[in-house]
Every structure is written in C-alpha cells, then in structure tokens.
Amino acid sequence: MGQGADDGRFLDLAFRLPDEFRSLEPALRELLSAAFKRGKIELRLNARSEAENSWPQPQPDQLNRLSRLESVVQGWLPKAQGLSVNEVLHWCKAGAPADKLDEAALDAAKRCIVGLREARAREGERLAAVLMDRVNRLRELAAQAEPLVPAVVKRQQARFLERWTEALENSGAAHTISREALQERALNEAAAYSIRIDVAEELARLRSHLDEVTRLLKVGGEVGK
C-alpha cells in the first residue's frame, strides 16, 4: 500500500487487484475511507500461490472415502489397479477446503492501514515542528520590520527637502519661494511616499495568517495544504 502527495482536497483511492480479488474492492474502499479523509492512496494486492510440490496433509476422512470408493470400484472391476500414493495425494489436494484468501487479504489491508496511519502521524509531527519554526521566524521578522517604516519615511522626508532646495537653487527660484513652502512641499511628498510603503495592513494580514496556521497545527488532524 502506498501514499502519494497530499495535493488534493479529498480522498483519492486507486486499486490494483488481481481478478480473483476484485470482489473485495468495496470492502477495501470502506476500510480506507474510514481511516483516511484526504490524500491519494493506491492499494496493490498480489497473491502468492504455494509451490506445486507443496501438498496438504491427507485427512483420515478423505482416506476413508477413497478406500471405500476403491473397494467399490474393484468389487465391480476386479482387474482395476489400486490407487497410487501420487493419485491419493492429488485427490486429497483437490478435495481440501479452499483457503480463506479473502479474509487474509482484508487482514493484510488492515495491517497496512495501521502502518500507514502511524507513518503519517510521525511525518505530520516532524512537518508541524518545521512549520512552527518557520511561523516563529516570520513573527520575528514582522516585529523587526514594523518599526523600520517611520524611520524610512523620516529619511525620505529629509531627502525630498534636500532635493527640492537643490533643484530650486539650480533654477534660481529659491529666492521667490519661502522656506515654509519648500518644507510643506517636501512633507506632502514624504506623506505620499509613506502611503506607498506603508506595510501595516500587510503585516496585520501576515499575523492573521500565522495565527491561523498555528491554530491548525495545534488542532492536528488531516488539514491538507
């Protein structure tokens, strides 16, 4: 039994069964659906037959029946040869009860499901630890970035004022425009710039996403992407 990447929103089951086990597909599907809620799971089943020279142990009742049949036949046909050991074994093998392969197959599937669930749980714990480490790191980076914005705006404000003054002096218009007007213009440009680089909303949205990721990791279960 194998599991593919959990890239779907629902449970996707695929079966690779020999013809003699096709009737088990509904029962296998029910077992898998009860154990898993999402992901892609493929179940393969192969039956290994016994070697031809592997014989069942003849049972007393089989031998008794064969002996009676042999006596009846030889009573009517005195020249008929007796049964050989090979013929007796063939008859016993043919008359042996069929192996309960369906039960063995379902039992094997149940063991595989238990193993897969345990493997997914271990993988999930490792992945949750990695994700929580990333979430904590993103929180730290967001906390570091937030106070940087006002400092950037302040530096840009001084740069605007410096550039406006330099441009007006080069053009000779500095004598006709008051310093207050220059400062007001620089402040307006800085305000427009601060709006463009304001990341407060993005940081708030990021924190919201991180809170939701943390909640889902703590809840556990099959949450997918």
For residue 109, the model assigns a pLDDT of 92
Instruction: Give the pLDDT band (50/70/90) at residue 171.
Output: low
What is the per-residue pLDDT for 28?
93
Q: Is the pTM of this model over 0.75?
A: no
Q: How far is the C-alpha of 41 from the C-alpha of 7, rounded, in Å?
A: 11
Which of 14-18, 71-75, 167-171 holds the top average pLDDT? 14-18
Check whether 51 has a pLDDT greater than 70.
no
Non-local CB neighbours of 203 within 8 Å, separated by 6+ positions: 142, 145, 146
pLDDT value at position 12? Answer: 92
pLDDT at 3: 47
Which among 37, 39, 47 has a CA at the least distance from the CA of 16?
47
What's the chain's length in residues?
Answer: 225
Task: Name the band, by pLDDT with cuts 50, 70 and 90, for residue 8.
Answer: very low
pLDDT bucket at 195, cuts 50 / 70 / 90? low
pLDDT for 38 equals 83
| 39 C-beta neighbours (distance < 10 Å), count | 20
Q: What are the strands of the beta sheet with 2-3, ordered from one edge?
A: 2-3, 39-44, 11-16
Q: Region 3-10: what's the mean pLDDT?
A: 51
Question: In the numeric block, which tokens belong to residue 138?
Answer: 């993103």
| HEC-encoded secondary structure of 196-211 | HHCCHHHHHHHHHHHH
Mean pLDDT on 117-144: 89
Confidence of residue 74 (pLDDT cuts 50, 70, 90): confident
